[in-house]
Amino acid sequence: MHVVIIVLLLLALGFLVNLLLQPRQSAAGETGKRSDSPVVKNFGDAGAGLQVAFISGGKLFYSAEHGEVRQLQSPYIQEVSDRLEKSKERNAWKQNTSFGIAAGGNVRQFDSDGANIVATSAQFYRNSILYFLKDESMGGLFAYDLTDQKEKRLLHKQNLNLADLNLDQVSGKILCSSRSKNGVSNIAMLDCDGNQFRELTGGDTFDSAPTWVSADGKEIFFQSAGLARNEAGYIVAQGNATIQRLDLNSGSITPVLEDSNFDYLQPRLCPQGHLYFIRRPYEPPRYQTGNLILDTLLFPFRLLRAVFHYLNFFSMMYSRKPLTSASGSAVQADLKQIMLKGKRIDAEKALRREAAVNGVPSLVPRSWQLIQRSRQGDERVLACNVLSYFITPEGDIVYSNGRGVFTLGDGERSSLILKGDLVDEVIAHSPALYKPHAKELESVADTANT
């Protein structure tokens, strides 16, 4: 009798905890939908003469000169989506059967919203866009011709995960970061046609954001951070990001910028030889006493909730009826917490608190600064609230604060190009200026051959 009473009490407590947590998760899901929506608006002539592209929520958008911002529709993603749709039709009979019950007691979702393929990085190349697409198992490098609107698959391989593409427009060589499932990221290089792939760095580090240094392509800068693992081999912390120089001839690596108090991100060199980078305060991982007390107090409720879902699973499996009507549909993840440059950002809180740039709210703090460092070591702050930036071969600077894309003009004044709900990685291209530059290079080459 006592056992029955205890079980009933456990079920009642689990039911109450589940009801308390349900509205919070539902509201978080609605917030996530707002943050993920790629609503984009184009403004003015601030970006005249520039082609701009950016990644928003894993989707690639681009804007031609004075053109409308459009999403790049990849035929490869459409092909995968068609296969998933056929698989959905084949599995339709599993709905409302025991095969449709997940381990947590909720209903399995066979009707997926589409292919879970995201773009990680992109670069302009002549009149095309190079970009990398990946899902849980495959990754590929693609080229999209903006004139013919045709896609070409350059490289496609299982477990390939590339990011931070950096293309040398003259040699056609691409620097990138190659990421493994164990959390390690190495600097790699390949041709723009997808051939001659090789990794340049190694070790238990997270190397990323490579950029060319010398004109002969023998030296590069990259961002590097050490990884800390526990006894089981899982990553528990990541060190501060530094800027390192790699000599491709000797393989030697020398530090350029290191400070235990700061992260140095995304190094780039302008045509005048100045070093640019994003500087932000480094926040070492801490497990505070308050977290320990809170976890201790909530442990009984979390245990009761786990017991409730365990019993709810058996109820759904054998009677096809949940113990409560509130557990009928799958609960969405809390998407308002987004990862930006390795940091977890509360988008809702940031939009309320952070400073605006030209009236556009920022997703990253003011302490995320774009720095210019001269050859003599003098530094100056060019812009604040900088999430990502790009320097064209002509020296134009385009950057994002997470909600908008801006150009940085004389006097360090920012001009708005476009804005959207989430603007992650941004790139730019000057096609009108690139063409004479290319002809000049061809003329120099012809003269040298003569």
Q: Please give the helix or strand (H or E) that residue 132 lies within, else none.
A: strand 128-134
Interval 341-359: pLDDT, tens: 888 888 888 888 888 998 9
Question: CA angle at residue 307 from 301 to 312, to 5 degrees?
Answer: 125
Q: Where are the domains of the chain?
A: 2-74+117-449
Report pTM: 0.75
Q: Residue 5: its pLDDT value, please?
A: 55
pLDDT of 355 reads 86
pLDDT, position 438: 38
Task: Report d(CA 334, CA 24) in Å as an integer.
Answer: 9
Predicted pLDDT at 331: 36
What pLDDT shows up at residue 12?
60
Q: Measured between alpha carbons, how far is 199 from 187 in angstroms, rounded to an integer? A: 6
- DSSP-assigned beta bridge partners for residue 254: 245
Query: What pLDDT sits at residue 114?
Result: 53
State residue 156's pLDDT score: 93
**pLDDT, tens digit (0-9, with 9 covering 90-100), for 9-38:** 565 655 554 544 443 333 333 333 333 445
Tell me, what's the pLDDT at 7? 55
Residue 95 exposure: Cα atoms within 13 Å on the Cβ side = 9
Task: Please report the pLDDT score of residue 18 as a whole number.
Answer: 54
CATH of 2-74+117-449, one of 2.60.110.10, 3.40.50.970, 2.120.10.30, 3.30.479.30: 2.120.10.30
Provide the mean pLDDT of the chain: 79
Positions of the chain with pLDDT lower than 70, given as ranges: 1-48, 64-67, 91-115, 286-292, 313-314, 316-336, 411-412, 431-450
